[in-house]
Amino acid sequence: MATRLIHGLPALTATPYGNALLIKLGTFGGLLLIAAINHFLLVPALEPSQSKEGARVPQGAARWFRWAVAGEAVLLLLVLGATGVLTTRTPPRVPQVLVQPVHETGRLGTVAYELDASSQDSGAVRFTLRLQDAEGRPVQGAALPMELTMPGHVMPPYHAFLRPFAPGEYRADLILPMSGRWRIVIDATNVVASAGSIEFELRTGTSPREAQQVWYFTWYRALRWPAGVLWLMAYIALAVFAVRAIVIAGSKPTFRPLRVGGHLLLFFSLWQLVSLFVAKGFPTAYDPNPLPATADVVASGQALFQTYCAQCHGPEARGDGPLAGEMWPPPSDLTVFAPMHTDGELYWFISKGVPGTEMPAFETALTEEERWAVVRYLRSLPPTGPGAAWLNRHRY
């Protein structure tokens, strides 16, 4: 139930419901710790000790026991309070985009600013900037340009605007196309000439593409040669060895370490065996392209690309189509994007689209063969621009 309500670790720190749950769990953990100390240490210490004066209870142990019981009572009240808070909060209905909300204050010359970034149920990140002058009056002006980059990825920066929303308040709701570390620069010179810029970083825990990932069963990972087959044989051998160790150990007390080790090894080997056949991702990720890499297939894929994709991704698939300037997030540079994914993943994106973006699903507009032909065309594109050196360096 908790996993269905919380939607992953980011929601624990990024939502009021998650924060209340963390407080409750932490308090309950402290309560269990004190209870364990009472049971295993203090209660045995309260046993009357025999001496010449007769039976007596150690005074130090009695004092610590009283403090421990009082601590248990206080923590129990806190647990009840946190539970009451949980009943007044609404669990997050969708996975939270941000690992941690951003709140930052500072000054740009004589102008004070307050910056917030928070997750929205739509999957977007809401950026809010409030500006006030030295007298506390709202500072109003034109839209403020934003530049968004990912330091860990070689790709051109994304550009957006914080637009006036209320007196002294600027807002933008943006869907960030990838999860990871983002660096954002806000240019405030449109409002205050000498203001400069605001720079900050945030980390996203999910993205529209990752939200499409599902659990699925696959034979390919376990049976692909040579890695899949070798790992499959190794895990089966470990499982057989573990069962043999458990049988040999039996119920003999002297063989207890062998029996425990056998159970642990059996659990590990079965876990790894299941992981070879069950994965979370895109169900077609490991499917090979059924079309040969011939000139005719590539030409067919190119014709389809120019008809259905070039308006957004551009005639050379660099993400610079005529409609690209109207979209957020902007279309990907496929000369860089395609080499970083398998044929099956590209086929999935083309077929299902990407929710939260302008990328539509083509599974009804194009046949299965046509979609695989587009994938063949994307594979034929040479990487260009600053991303080419990065791809070559990482051998994509």
Looking at the chain, the whole-number percentage of residues with pLDDT higher than 90 is 37
Separation of alpha carbons 367 and 48, rounded Å: 84
Query: How large is the average pLDDT for residues 277-295?
Result: 90
Are 92 and 18 contacting, i.e. CB atoms less than 8 angstroms apart?
A: yes
Domain ranges of the chain: 2-88, 102-207, 215-281, 295-393
The structure tokens listed for 163 are 């637009």
Q: What DSSP string runs through 347-394?
A: HHHHHH--TTSS----TTTS-HHHHHHHHHHHHTPPP-THHHHHHHHT
The pLDDT of residue 1: 46
Separation of alpha carbons 70 and 354, rounded Å: 55
Separation of alpha carbons 177 and 207, rounded Å: 6
Can you identify the CATH homologous superfamily of domain 295-393?
Answer: Cytochrome c-like domain (1.10.760.10)
Going 241 to 245 to 247 to 248, the CA torsion angle's sign is positive
CATH among 2.60.40.1930, 1.10.730.10, 3.50.50.60, 1.20.120.80 for 102-207:
2.60.40.1930
Query: How large is the average pLDDT for residues 302-323?
Result: 93
pLDDT over 90 (residue 300): yes
Read off the pLDDT of residues 177-202 as tens digits, 9 standing for 90 and up.
888 899 999 998 888 777 778 999 99
Rg (CA), the chain: 30
The pLDDT of residue 286: 85
Least confident of 4-18, 63-77, 244-258: 4-18
Are 353 and 361 contacting, i.e. CB atoms less than 8 angstroms apart?
A: yes
The separation between CA 120 and the C-alpha centre of its own chain, rounded to angstroms, equals: 15
Spell out the residues 6+ positions from residue 92 whose beta carbon is closer than 8 angstroms to its own. Answer: 5, 6, 7, 11, 15, 17, 18, 121
Spell out the residues 6+ positions from residue 45 whose beta carbon is closer than 8 angstroms to its own. Answer: 58, 61, 65
Spell out the residues 6+ positions from residue 230 whose beta carbon is closer than 8 angstroms to its own. Answer: none
Q: Which of 36, 41, 15 is nearest to 93 (CA)?
A: 15
